[in-house]
Amino acid sequence: MKFETEGKLQRNELGRWEVLDVQLCSGSPVDILIDGHWISGVIEHWQGDYYWFSRYDGIPVILSSSIVARIPQ
């Protein structure tokens, strides 16, 4: 799998999360960097906010601007 978009998550003017100007929405596949390992998951809107959910075990992570993410192409 190829990854060309990698960087820190940021909120845009619409309140949506993005990585290097690529806007994320519910269903967007995104890998996040946790303890030096890339973990695959998906962005979902849940309980009034956006979360990342692990593809392997469904564990939710609330999004923040301290998270490094990459988007598969």
pLDDT in tens, 20-49: 989 999 999 999 999 999 999 999 998 888
This model's pTM is above 0.75 = yes
Overall domain count for the chain: 1
Please report, for the domain that includes residue 54, its CATH number. Answer: 2.40.10.390
DSSP string over the chain: --EEEEEEEEE-TTS-EEETTEE--TT-EEEEEETTEEEEEEEEEETTEEEEEETTT--EEE--TT-EEEEE-
Max Cα–Cα distance, the chain, nearest Å: 32
Domain that holds residue 17: 3-72
